[in-house]
C-alpha cells in the first residue's frame, strides 16, 4: 500500500514535469484517474488482508487439528461445534442463567451412544427466563425429527415433569435446542433439568472423541462440569483436552479422567470452574 502511494506521488511529479508539453487539463485528469485507481487497489488490498487474517475460531480449529490427531477431526468440527453458524448461535448466547453443575453421562458402544445430560442452575438475571439451551452432537447425520429418544424433564422432589423441546438450529450433525420451563423462571429461582437422547451411528470404532461444549453456551463460567463415560469394551487409553477460544490453544487438561472400575470401562472427569470460553474433549481408544 505504501509502495503504491509512493508510485502515485512519483508519477504525479513526472507528469507535472511534463506540463509544458502536455496540456494542463488532460494532465490533471490523468493524475486524478491514477490516484483513483491506486486508492481502489489499496482498498482491495486492505479488504483481502482483513479476510485472510486468522480469526479466533480458525486459530482454535488449527490448534485442535494439530493436537488431537484423530482422522476427520477438522472437517467434523468445521461442520459442527466450530462452524460459524453454530458458534454465532450458541457461544455465550445465554446471559441469564448461572449454572452450578452440568453432568454428562454417556454409554458408548462401537458405533452408538446414549446420553443423559443434567443441568443445575438458577436465574441470576432481573428478567424472567423461559428456557435452558442444550447442544446435541454426533458423528452421523440425525435431524431433530429423527431422534428415537429425545426427552427432557424438570427434576422435582414431588416427581419429574416432562418438558417441551424447541429446535433452535438443526445442522444434522449438531442440534441446538431449547428446553422449555413449564412456567417462566423468576429471578433467583433454581432448576434441575435432565435431557436424554440416543444417537445411533454417532461413534467410530477404535479411536474417537466425545466433545463437551456445554459451558460455552453461557455468558458465565460453569461452577462444575462432570463427565461420566461407560464403554462396552475396555479403553486402552483416555485423555482429557481443553480447547480455549481466548488463547487459540488445545492442550491436555491439568485434571484428567479417573477410572471408576477395575475393567477400564468406566471413567469420570470433573472440571471445577469450567471455562465458558472453552470446549472440553475426551479422546479415547477402545478395541
Domain boundary among 10, 25, 52: 52
Question: In 186-256, which ranges are E strands?
Answer: 190-199, 206-212, 222-231, 235-244, 249-252
- How many domains does the chain divide into? 2
- Nearest CA-CA partner of 93 in 225, 219, 214, 276: 219
Q: Which of the two residues, 252 and 51, has the higher pLDDT score?
A: 252
C-alpha cell at 24: 494542463
Q: How confident is the model at residue 52 (pLDDT cuts 50, 70, 90)?
A: very low
Domain span at 47: 2-52
Q: How confident is the model at residue 110 (pLDDT cuts 50, 70, 90)?
A: very high
- Nearest CA-CA partner of 273 in 136, 123, 98, 94: 98
Q: Are residues 27 and 119 in the same domain?
A: no
Q: How confident is the model at residue 287 (pLDDT cuts 50, 70, 90)?
A: confident
Q: Evaluate if residue 39 carries a pLDDT over 70.
A: no
Nearest 10 degrees: Cα torsion 121, 150, 210, 64:
-80
Give the residue-averaged pLDDT of 69-83: 96
Q: Across the strands, what pairs with 241?
A: 252, 281
Q: Are residues 32 and 72 in the same domain?
A: no
What's the whole-model pTM score? 0.81
- Nearest CA-CA partner of 286 in 233, 218, 243, 209: 233
CA 182 – CA 152 distance, rounded (Å) = 11
CA 30 – CA 12 distance, rounded (Å) = 9
Q: Evaluate if residue 21 carries a pLDDT over 90.
A: no
Q: Are residues 123 and 242 in the same domain?
A: yes
Give the residue-averaged pLDDT of 197-206: 96
H or E stretch covering 66: helix 56-67
Q: Are residues 121 and 239 in the same domain?
A: yes
Q: Are residues 243 and 128 in the same domain?
A: yes
Give the residue-averaged pLDDT of 261-273: 97
Q: Are residues 241 and 100 in the same domain?
A: yes
**Mean pLDDT of all residues belonging to the chain:** 88
Q: Are residues 113 and 11 in the same domain?
A: no
Q: Are residues 28 and 131 in the same domain?
A: no
CATH number at residue 177: 2.60.40
Do 221 and 236 meet the contact criterion of CB atoms below 8 Å apart? Answer: no
Give the residue-averaged pLDDT of 85-105: 97
Q: Are residues 126 and 145 in the same domain?
A: yes
Q: Are residues 15 and 114 in the same domain?
A: no
Q: Which of the two residues, 30 and 204, has the higher pLDDT score?
A: 204
- Residue 17, Cβ density class (10 Å: 0-12 exposed, 13-18 middle, ≥19 buried): exposed
Q: Evaluate if residue 47 carries a pLDDT over 80.
A: no
C-alpha cell at 53: 487474517
Query: Per-residue pLDDT tens for 130-165?
Result: 999 999 999 999 999 999 999 999 999 889 999 999
Domain boundary among 12, 36, 52: 52
Q: How confident is the model at residue 49 (pLDDT cuts 50, 70, 90)?
A: very low
Domain boundary among 52, 67, 88: 52
Q: How confident is the model at residue 24 (pLDDT cuts 50, 70, 90)?
A: low
- In the prediction, which pLDDT does 45 show? 42
Give the residue-averaged pLDDT of 276-281: 98
CA 207 – CA 237 distance, rounded (Å) = 9
CA 68 – CA 283 distance, rounded (Å) = 8
Query: Per-residue pLDDT tens for 118-136?
Result: 999 999 999 999 999 999 9
Q: Are residues 33 and 72 in the same domain?
A: no
Q: Are residues 11 and 122 in the same domain?
A: no
Q: Evaluate if residue 174 carries a pLDDT over 70.
A: yes
- In the prediction, which pLDDT does 54 show? 77
Give the residue-averaged pLDDT of 259-273: 97
- In the prediction, which pLDDT does 20 show? 54
Residues 219, 238, 91: CA angle, nearest 5 degrees: 15
Amino acid at each position: 500500500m505504501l509502495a503504491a502511494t509512493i508510485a502515485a506521488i512519483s508519477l504525479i511529479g513526472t507528469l507535472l514535469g511534463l506540463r509544458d508539453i502536455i496540456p494542463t487539463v488532460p494532465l490533471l485528469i490523468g493524475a486524478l484517474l491514477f490516484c483513483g485507481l491506486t486508492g481502489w487497489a489499496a482498498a482491495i488490498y486492505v479488504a483481502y488482508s482483513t479476510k485472510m487474517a486468522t480469526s479466533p475460531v480458525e486459530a482454535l480449529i488449527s490448534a485442535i487439528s494439530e493436537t488431537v490427531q484423530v482422522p476427520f477431526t477438522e472437517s467434523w468440527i468445521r461442520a459442527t461445534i466450530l462452524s460459524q453458524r453454530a458458534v454465532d448461535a450458541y457461544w455465550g448466547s445465554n446471559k441469564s442463567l448461572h449454572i452450578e453443575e452440568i453432568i454428562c453421562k454417556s454409554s458408548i458402544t462401537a458405533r452408538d451412544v446414549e446420553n443423559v445430560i443434567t443441568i443445575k442452575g438458577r436465574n441470576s438475571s432481573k428478567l424472567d427466563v423461559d428456557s435452558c439451551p442444550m447442544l446435541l452432537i454426533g458423528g452421523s447425520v440425525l435431524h431433530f425429527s429423527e431422534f428415537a429418544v429425545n426427552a427432557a424433564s424438570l427434576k422435582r422432589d414431588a416427581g419429574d415433569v416432562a418438558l417441551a423441546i424447541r429446535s433452535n438450529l438443526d445442522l444434522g450433525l449438531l442440534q441446538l435446542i431449547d428446553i422449555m420451563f413449564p412456567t417462566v423462571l423468576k429471578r433467583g429461582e433454581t432448576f434441575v433439568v435432565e435431557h436424554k437422547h440416543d444417537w445411533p451411528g454417532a461413534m467410530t470404532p477404535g479411536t474417537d472423541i466425545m466433545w463437551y461444549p456445554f459451558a460455552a453456551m453461557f455468558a458465565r463460567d460453569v461452577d462444575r462440569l462432570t463427565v461420566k463415560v461407560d464403554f462396552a469394551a475396555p479403553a486402552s487409553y483416555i485423555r482429557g483436552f481443553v480447547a480455549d477460544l481466548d488463547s487459540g490453544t488445545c492442550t491436555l487438561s491439568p485434571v484428567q479422567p479417573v477410572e471408576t472400575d477395575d475393567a477400564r470401562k468406566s471413567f469420570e472427569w470433573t472440571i471445577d470452574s469450567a471455562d465458558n470460553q472453552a470446549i472440553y474433549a475426551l479422546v479415547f481408544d477402545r478395541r
